[in-house]
Amino acid sequence: MTDLNHLERDLLTQVEAAGDEAALETVRVAALGKKGSVSELLKTLGAMTPEERKERGPLINGLRDRVQGAIAAKKESLAEAALEARLAAERIDVTLPVPEAPESRGRIHPISQVIEELTAIFADMGFSVAEGPDIETDYLNFTALNFPEGHPAREMHDTFFLAPDEKGERKVLRTHTSPVQIRTMMAQKPPIRVIIPGRTYRHDSDQTHTPMFHQVEGLVIDKQANIAHMKWILEEFCKAFFEVDQVKMRFRPSFFPFTEPSAEVDIQCSRKGGEIRFGEGNDWLEILGCGMVHPNVLRNCGLDPDEYQGFAWGMGIDRIAMLKYGMPDLRPFFEADVRWLNHYGFRPLDIPSLVGGLTA
Ligand code: 2NL
């Protein structure tokens, strides 16, 4: 009797003391396993007389049931405690940044973005985009554009010439996008309204010049296309590109071989603390050159200057990108540094459109 009481108290104390499921399992095996203390007691019942068994049976079975019950209860409370501990220890950090969606990873280079912006603005005014080769003939790059023989731009000093071919012809890396306008005039009948964005090359390299840079030129040819149309188009372009409601412009007489008259165009700006703003202030900034297409150029393209006239303009894309987006140095444009691109680049889905503002 007292042995059974003693064993029971002992087992229940061990169950209570078990700190985790492994310790509890050890206690269970020691009591209820094949050779466990309680199992051994149960085995003694077989050798007893019926009277003895009648008396001892319920006591031993009772002991087994209570020990089993205590183990089951302890098992449940240990599992609960383990769950509580996990819940207390594990945290979801809701402040962790969500990774960018695959379709918005990567960055669009500012030059590409600005070309898209220009295209959206001029497309809205009925212009299409023309393209041409980077390697041009001397004729299309210079002669057709009314550059006289011996003009300084035709010097080795300024232009990248390729080795002469079997006919002795020296191709050039185009020094402007104008040859594409020549190609356009030779290929299609007016009215013509095109812009030509693209890579251009000059033998020039310093803080503000790279040997490869980008230009956009525009061309309008029609029977009556005149300077008033040109001024309107350029003003609408400047307002849309710099995203201002009004901007004063200044047309200064200038000279280009391919236009007559020619002008350089400044836009109104303010400069405060190194920051340039457009459409306000009393300062001026040169942004493009333009003019009425020279009659010789029209003739070179098979157009009769007495029937057709038009205007053209050209500007540096790299330069207007720097101005608009406040990029102080031109050189990183061409260094393929992902840190710079992450800073100044654009998200792939920020596609410029005039609907709801160019860069909304
Ligand atoms: C500038 C000035 C200009 C043109 C480009 C042009 C093209 C043809 C005929 C006549 Cl085919 N003109 N292009 C006209 C005036 C100025 O560029 O400063 N560019 C950066």
One domain for residues 29 and 119? no
**Residue 359 in domain:** no
Ligand 1 site residues, Cβ closer than 6 angstroms: 145, 178, 181-182, 215, 217, 219, 256, 258-259, 288-291, 293, 297, 312-316
Please report, for the domain that includes residue 289, its CATH number. 3.30.930.10
pLDDT band with cut points at 50, 70 and 90 for residue 2: low
Residue whose CB lies within 8 A of the most ligand 1 atoms, among 136, 217, 286, 299, for a mutation test: 217
pLDDT at 356 over 80: no
pLDDT at 321 over 90: yes
Rounded CA-CA distance 298/301 in Å is: 5
pLDDT in tens, 265-299: 999 999 888 788 998 999 999 999 999 999 999 99
- Among residues 315, 286, 343, 342, the alpha carbon closest in space to that of 115 is found at 315
Residue whose CB lies within 8 A of the most ligand 1 atoms, among 181, 194, 209, 258, for a mutation test: 258
pLDDT in tens, 115-125: 999 999 999 99
Domain that holds residue 11: 1-90
pLDDT at 25 over 60: yes
One domain for residues 163 and 273? yes
- Ligand 1, residue 297: give the atom nearest the CA: 9
Q: Supply the residue whose CA is at minimum distance from atom 7 of ligand 1.
A: 178
One domain for residues 264 and 131? yes
pTM of the entire predicted model: 0.74
One domain for residues 210 and 286? yes
Q: Supply the residue whose CA is at minimum distance from atom 20 of ligand 1.
A: 315
Averaged pLDDT, 81-108: 88
Lowest mean pLDDT, pick from 52-56, 146-150, 255-259, 273-277? 273-277
pLDDT in tens, 40-49: 998 998 889 9
Rounded CA-CA distance 16/73 in Å is: 10
One domain for residues 173 and 212? yes
One domain for residues 122 and 245? yes
Binding residues: 260
pLDDT at 340 over 80: yes
Q: How many domains does the chain have?
A: 2
